Amino acid sequence: MSTEEPQDDSPEEEEEDLQYFVRIGGADLDGTKTVERSLSELDGIGTRTARLVAEKADVDRNATFGLLDEGDIDAVVDIAENLEDHVPSWMTNRQNDFYSGETTHLVGTDVSEKRRHDINRMKVIESYKGVRHKRGQKVRGQRTKSTGRSEGTIGVNVEEIREEMAEDEAAGDDE
């Protein structure tokens, strides 16, 4: 055991400045991970887009997200929330929206909310995909002959038949 006191630049002081959660698009990102990895865990942003966001914000993508300055974090948050202004239209995830006709990039909880609205719209107008969603069947043309079965046991259950026969014989002997 040493009797030395900790130095001024010990890891304990760095952790005091660490921001454990960074809020983007209604979701909390892990501040202990790198910028690229934290952003890629957000719905609507993959690894390629996360790399692009870090590049546009002039931030090292391998830096710990929670240790960045407030200005850098704000820059990353601003670019991630307004991504359609910083990337080409083909890179956005919501091109020519059905209602507004605009091209946007959804991030966070907005992705699942818009998807739910789109599926409900398909169900209401009873398109082919909407009918498949209503029935709980596969929507994108997958095979259904042998997979995707939601019913119970398929085939003959021999034990159940023997039990029924034994019950019938016991009932017939009682008479």
- For the chain, give the percent of residues with pLDDT over 90: 38
The model's pLDDT over 74-102, given as tens digits with 9 standing for 90+, comes to 999 999 989 999 989 999 999 998 889 99
pLDDT of residue 5 exceeding 70? no
**pLDDT confidence bin for 13, thresholds 50/70/90:** very low
- To which H or E segment does residue 28 belong? strand 27-30
Identify the CA nearest to 62 among candidates 37, 83, 42: 37
pTM score, whole prediction = 0.67
pLDDT of residue 9 exceeding 60? no
| Average pLDDT of span 107-122 | 92
